[in-house]
A = this chain, B = another copy of it.
Amino acid sequence: MKKLVESVPNISEGRNKDVIDEIVNELKKFENIKILEVSSDESHNRTVVTIVGNVDDVVEGLFYFTKKAVELIDLNKHKGEHPRIGAVDVIPLIPISGITKNELNNYVKILGERIWNELNVPVYFYADSATNEERKKLPNIRKGEFEGLVEKMKDPNWHPDIGNPFPHPTAGATVIGVREFLIAYNINLATSDVSIAEKIAKSIRESSGGLMYLQARGFYLEDKNCAQVSMNILNFKKLPLYRVYEIVKMEAEKYGTYIKESELVGLIPLKAVLDSFSFYIKLPELNLDKVIEYKIWGEE
């Protein structure tokens, strides 16, 4: 069984293409890492890279990626709109298939140790790897940014999870953690009345007392002249796609409208597809290895 993971490392450089290329090239040296996207933002002065691959290669690749970024980025000279504390600011690791969150968390620790031991960059763990409640959320760790890090680290509450409580002089600190895959999912309604989408969003999202792991907002789409409920599903294992669809469908009926179509922004793990497929046709236990493509490529 191949252990497939995704990672979305963020580096604090979004303007100098040569520097970005040199750092990303470290990942290209790994045959089993596939780079899905490299997205640089000039005003944020930040680049987000999306990769998938076997966990061993991904963790090895991320180390050399970090090493090169630490070598080339000096945060003392860095300005940008997006908050950051490190040259490699954050490395989320996401289990896709053949690996559990717990197992992946061991890789997070190994990567953190190596970044500290070989690069002298202290490491914080966040999200599902956090060592306390406060560190679960990235903004808490990032508060004060690189410029405030020397002071912040003096506070025993903010000692890093790995390494001594002194930031790397040019690369600050790096935050690593396991989190669930995020599914970006939009539903277009058969109405142009954006207030309906807004009301539905408000009634179903976690922040307004609805479904846990769901973020939702209402939008008006000019090109399609329709209202859209735009959502992020933060944990598709606990909040399956079909449940989101069926609840929006139900709420839309309340306002005399219905679902016209839905759309996935970006990719979806096979497991999320199978969970909803098997719900609708009542297949109690459908495993990944019933799918031919997974059977031949996912196993070894």
Q: Contacts of A241 on B, CB cut-off 8 Å?
A: 281
In the bound assembly, the distance between CA atoms of A245 and B259 in angstroms comes to 22
Query: By the criterion of a CB under 8 Å from any partner CB, how many residues of chain A are at the interface?
Result: 40
In the bound assembly, the distance between CA atoms of A292 and B261 in angstroms comes to 22
Q: Contacts of A277 on B, CB cut-off 8 Å?
A: 273, 276-277, 280
Bitwise interface map of A from 267 to 292 toward B, beta carbon under 8 Å scored 1, else 0: 11110011011001111101000111
Contact partner of A298 (CB less than 8 A), chosen from B6, B280, B281, B297, is B297
Contact partner of A52 (CB less than 8 A), chosen from B263, B267, B295, is B295
Whether A294 pairs with B295 at a CB distance below 8 angstroms is no
Whether B242 pairs with A280 at a CB distance below 8 angstroms is yes
Q: Contacts of A250 on B, CB cut-off 8 Å?
A: none
Among A241, A268, A284: residue with most chain B CB under 10 A: A268
Check: A97 CB closer than 8 A to any chain B CB: yes
In the bound assembly, the distance between CA atoms of A270 and B292 in angstroms comes to 7
Q: Contacts of A274 on B, CB cut-off 8 Å?
A: 273
Contact partner of A267 (CB less than 8 A), chosen from B53, B262, B283, B295, is B295
Check: A264 CB closer than 8 A to any chain B CB: yes
* Given A273-B273, A273-B274, residue A295 in contact with residue B34 (CB < 8 A): yes
Query: Can you list 22 residue pairs at the A/B interface with Cβ under 8 Å?
Result: A6-B292, A34-B295, A52-B296, A242-B281, A245-B281, A245-B282, A260-B282, A261-B283, A262-B282, A263-B283, A264-B290, A267-B291, A267-B295, A268-B291, A269-B291, A269-B292, A277-B277, A277-B280, A293-B293, A293-B297, A293-B298, A297-B297
Using CB atoms and an 8 Å cutoff, list the residues of chain A in contact with chain B: 4, 6, 34, 36, 52-53, 96-97, 241-242, 245, 259-264, 267-270, 273-274, 276-277, 280-284, 286, 290-298
